[in-house]
Chain A
Amino acid sequence: AQSVTQLDSQVPVFEEAPVELRCNYSSSVSVYLFWYVQYPNQGLQLLLKYLSGSTLVKGINGFEAEFNKSQTSFHLRKPSVHISDTAEYFCAVSLSGGSYIPTFGRGTSLIVHP
């Protein structure tokens, strides 16, 4: 079975600073990888996904992530954050040849300070 580890439960950062949210996965087979964002009291919104092809994936709101197979990582980055990026971020993995339903990590709370 696949699993996801989000290494930081909380990441505080100042506005306009760069940020990286870390995600590592475990799977013995090929996977699809995702990042979702959840604003307070709302559902999840897909930020970006890696299915195949280029290992650098660009998503909405200026976020990008890089798939590193040797490190089994899929870290999320943004070069300059805004106050409005304050939210919970979830990394998720699904088996590329399986049911496709993602398994979610525990989430990382990004807190952007002015």
Chain B
Amino acid sequence: EAEVAQSPRYKITEKSQAVAFWCDPISGHATLYWYRQILGQGPELLVQFQDESVVDDSQLPKDRFSAERLKGVDSTLKIQPAELGDSAMYLCASSRGQAEAYEQYFGPGTRLTVT
């Protein structure tokens, strides 16, 4: 069964450092999502891609966060500089298209701890 891959699974970094997360969606899925899940809460959308284009990044803190999906396949989410409040689980998901956003497939996530 095809899965969404994410790496690393765990990351510990000091505040003010840069950190990057990688996601490889299910083959053929045109739409990719990055979510942030703070402990004890549900996931919140950070950015949505359709192929290589950003569809929605209204909730992405653009002063420190950036995301790209250069070839419309895998994607990288970067934080620079990291802050203590960025400690969370970062989830990547994909769907066949925007109209299938209700059927997203999630990766295992990257748990970030900022010290």
Contacts and interface: CB of A to CB of B under 8 A. Distances in A.
6 contacts: A41-B108, A43-B91, A44-B43, A101-B33, A102-B102, A102-B104
B43 A51 contact: no
B103 interface: yes
A104 B102 contact: no
B12 interface: no
Given A99-B101, A102-B101, A106-B40, A41 B33 contact: no
Contacts of B91: 43-44
B100 to A, nearest CB: 8
B75 interface: no
A99 B56 CA distance: 10
B48 interface: yes
Interface of B: 4, 6, 9, 33, 40-45, 48, 56, 91, 93, 98-104, 106-109, 111
Given A41-B111, A42-B109, A43-B4, A49 B42 contact: no
Nearest to B55: A99
B96 to A, nearest CB: 12
Contacts of B98: 99-100
Interface size range of chain A in the complex: 20 to 34
B111 A92 contact: no
B43 A42 contact: no
A94 B109 CA distance: 22
Contacts of A90: 42-43
B11 to A, nearest CB: 13
A87 to B, nearest CB: 13
List 6 tightest A-B contacts by C-beta distance, closest first.
A104-B42, A43-B106, A100-B101, A44-B106, A101-B101, A43-B108
A21 B90 CA distance: 25
A34 interface: yes
A94 B104 CA distance: 12
Contacts of B56: 99, 101
